[in-house]
Structure 1
C-alpha cells in the first residue's frame, strides 16, 4: 500500500531546484513534518503543487495568503522573514 506521507518520497517531491525553496522545505520536513497533524501534511503537499515563483512569493511573505491555515504553515516554514 502506498503511504501518501512517505517522507522519502515527499523529500524528493520537495526538491525545487531553487536554493531558497529547497532550504525552507528541507527545514520544515526535518523539524515539523513527521509530528504535524494530517491536515497540515496535506496542506504542505498542496503547496508542492504550486509553481516555484508563486511558492517563493508565499514563503517570502510577499503574497497574500489564501487561507489562515496556509499562513500558519508558511510562518512555520519561514519564521525568519518578518511580516510587514
Structure 2
C-alpha cells in the first residue's frame, strides 16, 4: 500500500513539474526521478515550495540571473542545476 501511495504521489508531482517550458520540465523531472525517494522530508518540502514558484522566476534562478531570497530554495536550485544529465 505504501508503494502504491508513493507511486501515486510521484505521478502527481510529475504533473506539477510540467511547466510548459521543456528546459524547466527536464530540470524538475530529473531531480524528481533521481533524488525524491532518497530525500529527507525537509528537502521534499523545499521542492514542493519550489514547484509553487512562478515559471519566469524559476527560469531566472536556474539560469543564474537571480537568486532566491530563501536559502533552502537557493541550495536546492544549485543541487538541481548540478545533477548529471
Q: TM-score range by the shorter chain?
A: 0.7 to 0.9
2:57 matches 1:61: no
Cα distance in structure 2, aligned partners of 1:52 and 1:15: 10
Stretches of structure 2 lacking an aligned partner (at least 5 in a row): none
Stretches of structure 1 lacking an aligned partner (at least 5 in a row): none
As a proportion of its length, which structure holds more helix? Answer: 2
2:47 matches 1:44: yes
Cα distance in structure 2, aligned partners of 1:50 and 1:15: 13
Q: CA RMSD in A?
A: 2.0
Describe the superposition over 1:39-70 as per-residue Cα deviations: whole angstroms up to 9, x where unpaired: 11111111111111011111122112212211
TM superposition shift of 1:8: 1.1
Partner of 2:73: 70
> Normalising to structure 1: TM-score of the pair?
0.82
Query: Which deviates the most, 39-48 or 3-12?
Result: 3-12
> Normalising to structure 2: TM-score of the pair?
0.81
